[in-house]
Amino acid sequence: MLSQAAVCAFRASLKSWRHRTVLKAAFRARWSSSSASGAVTGMEEILARVVSPLPTYETREKSPPPPDANSLEFMHFYRSLDKEEKPDFLAKLSRDFGVDHKSVSELAGKLLDSQLRDLATILQVEDRLRYSLTPRYKQLLNHISRAEGGVKFLVDLRADVLEIISSRSSESPHLRSIVREFSTLDLEEDVNKVNAAIFYSISSTQAGLQGVELGNYLIKKVVRELQSEFPHIAQFSSLSPIPGFSSWLQGLLSQYRKEGRGLDLLTEQEWREVEEATDLSPSTSATDALRKLIATSEWMRSEHLSRFLEPVLMRLCAWYLFGEKRRGYALNPVANFHLQNGATMWRLNWHADTSPKGVANSCGIMVNYRYFLNETPKNSALYLQNKIVVASDQVLGLVSQFQKNSKL
């Protein structure tokens, strides 16, 4: 129960808050009427159409979900917006389709009036007040989370909101409420749709465990725990870095140049592209120019260079992982680890790690090692006993391209 003094103080602040809210609403209405543009009108129309009213407290459990078309229309419209338009759209969504502040104010007053009544009445008013704090747009976000690609859309939307807040490209105080609502979305149905798990990193934090091979044990343990919690998961894969690829490639280019075989690594058309991209001087060989180009990250900023280098670097990287060996086993330590555990060398991913470290280590390429649980014992035995690498068609195709272009 609240004390009489607290009730009085709350009533005074509530009255003041109501007054300020009315003034702000009047100002906003006046501003909107004088500066509304076609784009703003379009935003208002789309939001009015797709953001359904919040069901009443009495019908909250019985109301049907909004039509699927609402979610799809909202997603399509938002994706069509330019980056500069998104702050205004999200501010309008959070401000005009958020919490009904008038209803909250009224219920807060009723809660104060109910303090001298029985506990059941107080609890019911509290529950109504709690429900009234639900933003109107939350029902739409919940429904989007169940649509195809909806969770990914919401993750990207949240990232946009966080960027807008950090860059101060919108002064709307309502935007932070959207971020908070993401933590309360009902994603239970989407959890049941999860069918894949990706292992990003396995590392030891204990000095006494350095050099002790625990990776295989940890992977199997995590797989068992994930399957018990998410029985629908049937695909397990790593997303792994490729340390050493860039330094190996620099050494390979240097070796081929010294042996007079530099032109064997790329096609004639690809070498012409290198010459044009680097303004090759008469005193510089094409191989040295390519080495210098790859040694910097400048090529990552050029869409043309990136597109030209993709097939070249992808097939060279595939060969590095698949074909370069030490005592018959994969030269790359990460590849060797996963292959020992019975994984399949599954897919190379272009521009997967564009951080400075990722570009320096592996030209931004990462690789998936996929674990087919019924095949891992057989794959592990093939690798450890016969030194055979099990790989996907994508990897084998890239290796074949390398062998063809490198005349191996």
Question: For residue range 174-212, what is the model confidence (pLDDT) as tens digits?
Answer: 788 787 777 666 655 566 667 888 887 665 555 555 555
> Within 10 Å of residue 304's Cβ, how many Cβ atoms?
11
User: For all residues of the chain together, what is the average pLDDT?
Assistant: 82
Percentage of residues in the chain having pLDDT higher than 70: 81
**Three-state SS across 144-212?**
HCCCCCHHHHHHHHHHHHHHHHHHCCCCCCCHHHHHHHHCCCCCHHHHCCCCEEEECCCCCCCHHHCCC
pLDDT band at residue 369, thresholds of 50, 70 and 90? very high
Which letter, b or e, does each residue of 153-163 get, where b requires 16 or more Cβ atoms within 10 Å of its Cβ? bbeebbebbee
Mean pLDDT of 240-266: 88
The per-residue pLDDT for 27 is: 34
The residue with greater pLDDT, 10 or 348, is 348
Q: What is the pLDDT of residue 186?
A: 62
The dihedral built from the CA positions of residue 128, 133, 139 and 144, taken in this order, carries a sign that is negative
Q: In the predicted model, what is the mean pLDDT of residues 218-237?
A: 83
Q: Which residue did the predictor score with more confidence, 7 or 344?
A: 344
DSSP 240: B
> What tokens appear for 280 in the block?
């090759």
The pLDDT of residue 365: 97
Please give the DSSP secondary-structure letter assigned to residue 375: T
Which residues does the annotation mark as catalytic? 240, 338
Burial of 348 (0-12, 13-18, 19+ CB in 10 A): buried
Spatial contact of 164 and 175, defined as CB atoms under 8 Å apart? yes
Strands 325-326 and 329-330, bridge-based pairing = antiparallel
pLDDT, residue 117, reads 86
What is the tens place of the pLDDT at every residue in 128-143?
888 888 888 888 888 8
pLDDT score for 313? 95
Under DSSP, is residue 58 helix (H, G, I), strand (E, B) or coil?
coil
137-156 mean pLDDT: 86
- Write the pLDDT tens digit of every residue in 312-350: 999 999 999 999 999 999 999 999 999 999 999 999 999
CA distance 260 to 258: 5
